[in-house]
């Protein structure tokens, strides 16, 4: 009995360490797989061909704590350089408005922080200014002048109001290319946060929920996958389920065997 209790406690302790570690560097319970998939050939804000993103990781965007039907996808590629490719679809944003915007933030060292650090960068878009890249200073953001924006550069993005396999109603679609070359200093695995705003409705969707561009501690944890895409996000429910299974297995393994 003592061995079984010790085994269960040890398993719980190890799971707690894992959860604690994630909470330090990112928002606990929210992770994504940087899946391996076919290369994107055009970052034009249109899902074409229809299967273009089928081999990528997918998770949902949140309105507050409410999970919506809008979503993001991501996968890494090899052309025109080693890169991360991202897609956002805001199904409820059906109009082009001057105040629309979107952003993606990356913690390249997965080190967290309550303020933007030098290892963090942010890419945002507004209808008025287009795509801009920012780098953390330790206390805020400054223009990332070394990052080249545009097709063939470090960052490239396209956005449009168009139909897609997810909805026949034209809606906001965003495609983003992030080069993993030296300028952005992205590792194989890094943490990230996404947000998108519809000025027509005043609604902001984001992932993870209640995250902040200014605090990498609130980003989601990213892990590079070298196989196929993983279809669902790494939620706290999944993590707890795995922990429960580990505890159950440990209890069974260390059960005292009856004497013969």
HEC per residue, 135-170: EECCCCEEECCCCCECCCCCEEEEEEEEEECCEEEE
User: Does 96 lie in the same domain as 23?
Assistant: no
Question: Is residue 134 in a domain?
Answer: yes
User: Does 177 lie in the same domain as 48?
Assistant: yes
Question: Is residue 260 in a domain?
Answer: no
Residue 53's SS3 state is coil
- Token pair 């076919």 is at which residue? 38
User: Does 130 lie in the same domain as 81?
Assistant: yes
* pLDDT score, position 145: 96
User: Does 83 lie in the same domain as 187?
Assistant: yes
- Average pLDDT score, the chain: 83
User: Does 64 lie in the same domain as 7?
Assistant: no
Residue 172 has pLDDT above 60, yes or no: yes
* pLDDT score, position 258: 40
Question: Is residue 135 in a domain?
Answer: yes
User: Does 41 lie in the same domain as 22?
Assistant: no
Q: Is the model more confident about 82 or about 4? A: 82
Contact at 8 Å (CB) between 126 and 108? no
Task: Average the pLDDT over 234-247 and give the result.
Answer: 38
**Count of beta carbons in the 10 Å neighbourhood of residue 246:** 15
Contact at 8 Å (CB) between 105 and 192? yes
For 88-120, what is each residue's pLDDT tens digit?
Answer: 999 999 999 999 999 999 999 999 999 999 999
User: Does 245 lie in the same domain as 125?
Assistant: no
* pLDDT score, position 227: 55
User: Does 5 lie in the same domain as 108?
Assistant: no
User: Does 209 lie in the same domain as 127?
Assistant: yes
CATH number of the CATH domain containing 73: 2.60.40.1190
Structural domain total, the chain: 2
Question: Is residue 148 in a domain?
Answer: yes
User: Does 204 lie in the same domain as 90?
Assistant: yes
User: Domain span at residue 58?
Assistant: 34-234
* pLDDT score, position 36: 85
Output the CA angle 186-192-196, nearest 5 degrees.
Answer: 125
Question: Is residue 162 in a domain?
Answer: yes
pTM metric for this prediction: 0.79
* pLDDT score, position 25: 78
Task: Average the pLDDT over 160-177 and give the result.
Answer: 98
* pLDDT score, position 174: 98
């Amino acid at each position: 009995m003592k061995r079984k209790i010790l085994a269960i406690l040890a398993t719980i302790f190890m799971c707690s360490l894992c959860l604690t570690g994630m909470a330090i560097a990112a928002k606990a319970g929210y992770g994504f797989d940087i899946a391996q998939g076919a290369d994107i050939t055009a970052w034009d804000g249109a899902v074409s061909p229809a299967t273009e993103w089928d081999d990528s990781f997918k998770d949902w965007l949140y309105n507050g704590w409410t999970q919506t039907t809008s979503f993001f996808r991501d996968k890494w590629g090899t052309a025109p350089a080693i890169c991360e490719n991202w897609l956002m679809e805001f199904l409820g944003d059906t109009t082009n408005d001057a105040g629309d915007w979107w952003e993606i933030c990356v913690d390249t060292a997965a080190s967290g922080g309550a303020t933007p650090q030098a290892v963090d960068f942010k890419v945002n878009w507004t209808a008025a200014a287009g795509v801009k890249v920012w780098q953390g200073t330790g206390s805020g953001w400054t223009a990332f002048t070394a990052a080249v924006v545009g097709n063939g550069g470090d960052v490239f993005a396209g956005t449009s109001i168009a139909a897609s396999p997810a909805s026949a109603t034209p809606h906001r679609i965003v495609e983003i290319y992030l080069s993993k070359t030296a300028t952005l200093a992205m590792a194989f695995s890094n943490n990230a946060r996404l947000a998108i705003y519809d000025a027509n409705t005043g609604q902001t969707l984001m992932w993870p929920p209640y995250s902040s561009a200014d605090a990498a501690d609130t980003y989601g944890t990213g892990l590079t996958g070298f196989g196929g895409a993983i279809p669902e996000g790494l939620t706290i429910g999944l993590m707890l389920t795995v922990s429960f299974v580990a505890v159950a297995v440990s209890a069974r393994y260390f059960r005292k065997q009856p004497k013969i």
